[in-house]
Structure 1
Amino acid sequence: MAEDEQEPGGISRKSFITAVGVGALALPAAVSAATPAEARTRPQAPRQLTPTPKCDDGDDDPTPPQMEGPYFKPGSPERTNLVTSGMPGTRLSLTGIVYSLSCAPVGRALLDFWQADYYGRYDNVTYTLRGHQYTDAAGRFSLQTIVPGLYPGRTRHIHVKVQAPNQPILTTQLYFPGEPRNSSDPLYDPELLMKVSTAPTGRTARFDFVLQVP
């Protein structure tokens, strides 16, 4: 090929070599780098959200049941705050929603909570750290309590009975992540783990129940 023969695109061989040698050959507009302003205006791929603990596919499994244990006591007072003045222990705020199998919030669902105190003891005489409440129209509940203590053979847990109006009762237990005894407690179920985080006044937890109702 002659020195000035045309390269594809109409550029002479001499011009092509010279331009490449000095780095001056401009890229075609279609492949040129975008300016910062152009990059900011390009459509972004949608962010993938983490599924919530409930109904991520419209037909989720119901919350697993667990044994009642020997310390349930009927007739607990209706209240959302189980903490009394001077009670030792780390404060815990537990919130969540009660759903049906079709992912509809269950209003006026009954939740009856009971648990051990800071020292791992249950009050079987009165109603310390025992109480029931009802969800609001959006299926929401909120409980103020403490992180329960440990006792032989068990990891930390909170007992609860949940019942949609005129439906069967779900009896189960809620667990804390990262507890050393989770691996040795024969009743522990990772599906019943609460989402727990540290707050300025103690700890916060979240758990959504899915009841076996339409």
Structure 2
Amino acid sequence: MTVTATAAASGANATERFKSDKFVGVAGTPPERVSLLAREVLEAVHGTIRKHKVSYAEYNALKAWLIAVGEDGEWPLFLDVWVEHVVEEVATEHRAGNKGTIEGPYYVPDAPERGARGSVPARDDEPGTPLTWTGRVTSTDGRTLAGAKIELWHADADGFYSQFAPGIPEWNLRASFTADESGRFEIHTVRPAPYQIPTDGACGKLIAAAGWHAWRPAHLHVKVSAPGHELLTAQLYFPGDEHNDDDIASAVKPELLLAPRPVEGGEAIDYGFVLDPERS
């Protein structure tokens, strides 16, 4: 029996993964900091209500929608699409090395290791143009970062991610690579396609009600790390995609655009990483 992927299923999986992998409380955070952030968020909401004379009908519709976001398991999707890009911007504004962008809700640690040169796990009939990616990892002072780790994951041609949608092999289009003694790596995968974020849940209802589109441009997700250096999380994009300029997640930056070139049997890109040392 074929199981169809849905927003509710992917959202619920993302929520459970987040709670098990990343949740940390505010233990150790000064109460003054918690109070400051909570009050200013609430004051921003209050200001919007006053400015636009929000009615009780609109307020109750908001309450119902917020409940639906939770029931559909779409809080990770909502926050990662509409909020995370600003958090990332603030958190990395000091960096001199590569630009990063949002992680999104579908990262999974401990993907299969493929060494310095290898292919991501994929189905025999995996759709998509074959893509060869070469690059080098260095520090901001020019030092080679041998042994740097490059984690790669991306959606399939239908816009679904392994481990979050049914019917896809566990590690499909997910792998880790380790830069060689020269800091170099070579990755073989397929070029991903643009896709719409799930629209059959509460986030989709917001998109429809607001008259927005739900499209994300084609992108490769990466995390790049090396001892003594800050973790870089990024998405890499392809020129010419019609949604590079109006990405629903507002995550595209000019520095993250690739320059693919045609080669026999597919395409090739060269894109390396410069990591910032950890701040003392």
TM-score (norm 1): 0.68
Give the one of 98, 115, 119 matched to 1:81.
119
Aligned match of 2:230: 168
The percentage of counterpart residues that share the same residue type is 37
Paired amino acid for 2:273: F
Q: Is residue 2:156 matched to residue 1:117? A: yes
Consecutive unaligned residues in structure 2, runs of 5 or more: 1-94, 165-169, 197-214
1:120 and 1:93 map into 2 onto residues whose CA distance is 20
Give the one of 189, 203, 206 matched to 2:267.
203
Paired amino acid for 2:159: G
Cα deviation code 1:60-91 (max 9, x no counterpart): 93111211100001121012301442211110
Aligned match of 1:132: 176
* Greater percentage in strand: 1
* Greater percentage in helix: 2
SS in 1 for 2:235: strand
2:184 and 2:232 map into 1 onto residues whose CA distance is 17
Q: Which has the larger radius of gyration?
A: 1
Computed over aligned residues only, the root mean square deviation of the Cα atoms, in angstroms, reads: 1.7
SS in 2 for 1:162: strand
2:227 and 2:147 map into 1 onto residues whose CA distance is 7
Aligned match of 1:142: 186
1:104 and 1:195 map into 2 onto residues whose CA distance is 25
Q: Is residue 2:130 matched to residue 1:91? A: yes
Q: Is residue 2:94 matched to residue 1:62? A: no
Number of residues of Structure 1 aligned to a counterpart in Structure 2:
155
Cα deviation code 1:127-158 (max 9, x no counterpart): 10000010001110111000112211210110
Paired amino acid for 2:220: I
TM-score (norm 2): 0.53
Contact in 2 for aligned 1:118/1:146 (Cα 8 Å): no
Cα deviation code 1:71-122 (max 9, x no counterpart): 0011210123014422111100011111110122210000100001122211
Aligned match of 1:3: none
Contact in 2 for aligned 1:90/1:203 (Cα 8 Å): yes
Matches within 5 A, 1:95-110: 95-110=134-149
SS in 2 for 1:61: coil
Contact in 2 for aligned 1:121/1:149 (Cα 8 Å): no
Contact in 1 for aligned 2:230/2:275 (Cα 8 Å): no
Cα deviation code 1:149-197 (max 9, x no counterpart): 2211210110000001243311111111121111111211110112211
Aligned match of 2:40: none
1:70 and 1:103 map into 2 onto residues whose CA distance is 33
Consecutive unaligned residues in structure 1, runs of 5 or more: 1-59
